[in-house]
Amino acid sequence: MSKIGEKAIDVSESTQIKIENHLITVSGKEGELSVSIPRKIEVTRENNLIWVKRKSNDKKTKSLHGLVRSLIFNAVTGVNQLWEKKLKVVGTGYRVKLQEENIVLEVGYSHPVLFKKVEGIDISVEGTNKIIIKGIDKQLVGQVAYQIRIIKKPDPYKGKGIQYEGEKIKLKPGKKEKIVGGTK
């Protein structure tokens, strides 16, 4: 039994929900999102609660039950309050700047890297080393943050690169430290 799928989703008064033909459309102050519902899952609304139920108990339906509930919950949350990811650019000479709606990253390459704006995502720069990504779609916000991060992943020896805010990079000892610490 899916423990996540059994929970009801609380919907505020300012959020409009429209359920029709295996598609649920959620509208709020930040925008509108749609979530596709598989045929074996049923979504109902009672007052300010949304319930996700499964029509059968086969393995595939059980696995979709919690997933669909999470997707609807993320849509309801996103249209009321934007999802946000923060990235830090760490390293000597590493910096980021906003150029029109695109961001330009100088992260140790021989040339600056241009990351173009993605539709539905707001990207802002704070200072010269912090990138803030906001949007109503949680999956898209995470995907854009990852795409920016892989431009220059954190180096495991020095810790330089682009990392999520609050991410702990476990640094590896270098070659010199291994030899000095013990015998060859």
Give me 135's structure tokens: 């949007």
pTM: 0.86
Averages of pLDDT over each 10 residues, the chain, 184 residues: 80 90 92 93 90 89 90 94 95 93 93 94 94 96 96 92 92 78 55
Q: What are the backbone dihedrals phi and psi of residue 76, each rounded to the nearest 5 degrees, phi first?
A: -65, -40
Element (H, E) at 157: none
Strand partners, 25: 18, 34
Q: Give the domains, in start order, of the chain with CATH numbers.
A: 9-80 (3.90.930.12), 83-164 (3.90.930.12)
- pLDDT tens digits, residue range 135-182? 999 999 999 999 999 999 999 999 899 999 999 999 998 887 766 655
Q: What 3-state class would DSSP assign to 184?
A: coil
